[in-house]
Structure 1
């Protein structure tokens, strides 16, 4: 046998190298593909919203038709370019979006980009609180349901889960307000801060979009408590919508994991049932939650419109309802597109995390 033959790597030696290259390339290709899909997703939704808004006429006629004379209305339409062909209007709007110009609201004369910056943080903060509530409610209760499979506790929690995601979020919000705000007086009825809290928050230089972060920066315990008390009921109302789904997912996947051979082997060695649940079955049960998190963010943003309206939480959902009532389609277009971007980016991040946890997702 020659030296070259002796040093020639065999199939077993070359396999790991090929596997690692294929794995790395698969992950990079998957991440790039998922990222590029954000562009057509947002573009399609923006296009659909733009043309649907024009079915009832141009935005100026829709917003100001009853307050201007026909001549004034025609002049405003010509000034804004709404007397031009629809495809030209669409291309102009698309060019403005690429420059960061989403137009100007006709009801209050504010740039839509300024509206998005002012109210986007409030919606993001509410959704973050709601996700925390959903995880705190769904994961532990799902574990309890799995450990008590087909017993009365499991049945009760399954019914609770169905009620959680089947009950309209505005109805849950109204019940919470009646019981805990009006009846018991434990929480504020509406708003993001009390009047005193708003004055304190207004004194902050370079404020962030998140009230809780600014309150922590000030180091004011009373202000932190004020922020959390105002956020509690909206977060619970919106979080229960997803908490019920998480409960069912954790229960189903933990039941399947607890029946796996390696869990039976650990059980035969005398490992405590609580340790089996928390150490062996919990992580696989959390993978489906991560994979559906992007879709749940979309559901929460939809529910945020009703939640913010119910609690007068001035975020994008609240403003969207206000602008739709005023038929201010320019502002509506900008808010809907921003929500689409948030959902698309959330799905992208969730897909990347899922691919890192479970390599099978990449292929």
Structure 2
């Protein structure tokens, strides 16, 4: 008599039922883990913003009440006290803090003292200009940093690699306002190729206003006019500010791309492909590039904060009237209510941008653990 025995799979207790393996089980588990990961990342936005809001509030109040800081010396003592009482700055600091948080929750970021306009209105009026400049700068950074980084990685430890690495360090280390002044001196004053400042010439602005598009993004408004000369005028004014701000971030991308591509080129699966006779160009394009792209996507989110902070100096240097330019004007006027509101709004934008970048990185790179 022959007895047949069947082996029990490892990790399965005999006598207990096992769940049937379905083709979609693994993907559903991964999707659930991804959802938990994204939920946690989203919830982390709120404590981050709360800490920043509290820090900004304390720093602004450490200078005294905003009314005295902005209007002291221009109003009499009685007028100042009347304005302070009307704004509620004579109440206990904790009461002011609670009211401030309550107003933020309802979308009220305060009213500027110097211009008596809601901060949200200022953002809607000038935010498009900053957004447009940040887009141009990011485009320059990607077009410069990524191709040059790949070239440096492909020619590692050669003369081209050394030159590009030095160029990346110089681009990152150069203050953005100095780069802006130097670009204006060379291309506007000496060569006369590009405008010195502004977002568009007077004639182009009149044409945009007459057309009535009103998006605030001059390139879109110029395209809506249907006049190529207006579009060309807007693009000419954007070149130098975009270069001044974009080359700074481009230097970071160059070094980051080089480091990550070199790292992936030395991994086991790339070495295995190389041993099968795959040429270096194909290795770089098909095997090393995508894994090296994930850290770059993550850093793009971090560089949004750098672009916004750099926009303050860039917009001032080129009289590009966006939020950065307005922030400087509010600082000069000691309008700390406006400064506080703009800083908080920019922090919210940066936090949301970082969350979006985390989502993209999680979807692109399957190695990210949820």
Q: Against the structure 1 CA distance between its residues 9 and 194, is the aligned structure 2 distance closer, same or farther, given a 3 Å change threshold?
A: farther
Q: Against the structure 1 CA distance between its residues 206 and 220, is the aligned structure 2 distance closer, same or farther, given a 3 Å change threshold?
A: closer
Q: What's 2:10 paired with?
A: none
For 2:168, which of 152, 158, 161 is the aligned residue? 161
1:177-188 pair list within 5 angstroms: 177-188=184-195
Q: For 1:21 and 1:128, how far apart are their aligned partners in 2?
A: 36
2:126 equivalent to 1:119: yes
CA displacement, residues 263-320 of structure 1 (integer Å, 9 cap, x when unaligned)? 3444455544333323332222211100111111111111111111111111111111
Q: What's 2:319 paired with?
A: 312
Q: What's 2:11 paired with?
A: none
Q: For 2:134 and 2:307, how far apart are their aligned partners in 1?
A: 7
Q: For 2:61 and 2:187, how far apart are their aligned partners in 1?
A: 43
Q: What's 2:71 paired with?
A: 64
Q: For 1:297 and 1:329, how far apart are their aligned partners in 2?
A: 24
* SS of equivalent to 1:14: coil
Q: For 2:17 and 2:277, how far apart are their aligned partners in 1?
A: 43
Shift of 1:245: 1.0
Q: For 2:213 and 2:96, how far apart are their aligned partners in 1?
A: 37
Higher mean C-alpha deviation, range 267-276 or range 283-292: 267-276
Q: For 2:103 and 2:49, how far apart are their aligned partners in 1?
A: 15
In the superposition, the TM-score normalised over structure 1's length comes to 0.93
* SS of equivalent to 2:251: helix
Q: For 1:160 and 1:14, how far apart are their aligned partners in 2?
A: 55
Q: For 2:240 and 2:337, how far apart are their aligned partners in 1?
A: 31
Q: What's 1:5 paired with?
A: none
Q: CA RMSD in A?
A: 2.2
Q: For 1:359 and 1:270, how far apart are their aligned partners in 2?
A: 27
Q: What's 2:307 paired with?
A: 300
Q: Is the 8 A contact 2:213 2:221 kept in 1?
A: no
Q: Against the structure 1 CA distance between its residues 69 and 312, is the aligned structure 2 distance closer, same or farther, given a 3 Å change threshold?
A: same
Q: What's 1:324 paired with?
A: 331
Q: For 2:82 and 2:322, how far apart are their aligned partners in 1?
A: 33
Q: For 1:357 and 1:17, how far apart are their aligned partners in 2?
A: 20
CA displacement, residues 145-192 of structure 1 (integer Å, 9 cap, x when unaligned)? 011110111011110111111111111111111111111111111111
Q: What's 1:248 paired with?
A: 255
Shift of 1:18: 4.6
* Structure 1 unmatched runs, 5+: 2-7
1:1-363 pair list within 5 angstroms: 14=21, 17-363=24-370
Q: Is the 8 A contact 2:291 2:365 kept in 1?
A: no
